[in-house]
Structure 1
Amino acid sequence: MAPRTHQLVQQIAAPDWVDQDLLTREDAVKLLDREIAAERDRLGEERITGWSTANRNAARDLAARRIAAMEALRTDLLSD
C-alpha cells in the first residue's frame, strides 16, 4: 500500500460565504418560471417517437408531475 500524500490548500482571508453565489428567492422564482415554461413546451411536443403508447404516456405523466412539483416550490417561495 502506497503512503498517503497530502496537498496543501491555500486559505483565503475571507469568510466562507463570501466565496459563494447566493441565490435570492426572486432569482429562484425566475429560474423556476423558465424551467416550467421549457417543460411545458417539451410536454406539448411530439418528440417522443418510436416509443410505445405506455412509455409515451409515462413520459408525459412524469413531465406533468415535474411541472406540478416546480409550481408547488414556486408557490412556497412566493409565500414566505
Structure 2
Amino acid sequence: MADALRSKLGDLEDELDSANEAKAELEEQLGSLKEQLEASQAEALKLKSEASQAGESELAEARKALAQAQEALQSREAKRERPSCERWG
C-alpha cells in the first residue's frame, strides 16, 4: 500500500511539474502578446496622430484658399462699385 501511495505521489509530482512548465510557457506567451498589443496600440496612435496632422494641414490650406477667393471676390466687387472716370468724364 505504501508503495502504491509513493507511486501515486510521484505521478502527481510529475503532473505538477508538467503543469508548472505549461504555466510558465503560457505566461511567456502572454507577455509576448502584451508586448505586441502595446506595440500595435502605439503604432495605431502614431498613425492616428499623423492622419490628424495631415487633416489639419489640409484644413489650413483650404482656409487659406477660401480667404484668397474671398479677397479676390471683394476686390472684384469693389471695382464694380467704383465709378469709372470714362462714365463721368
| TM-score normalized by the length of structure 2 | 0.33
Q: Which has the higher contact order (CA 8 A, sep 6+)?
A: 1
| TM-score normalized by the length of structure 1 | 0.36
The structure with more helix, counted as a fraction of residues: 2
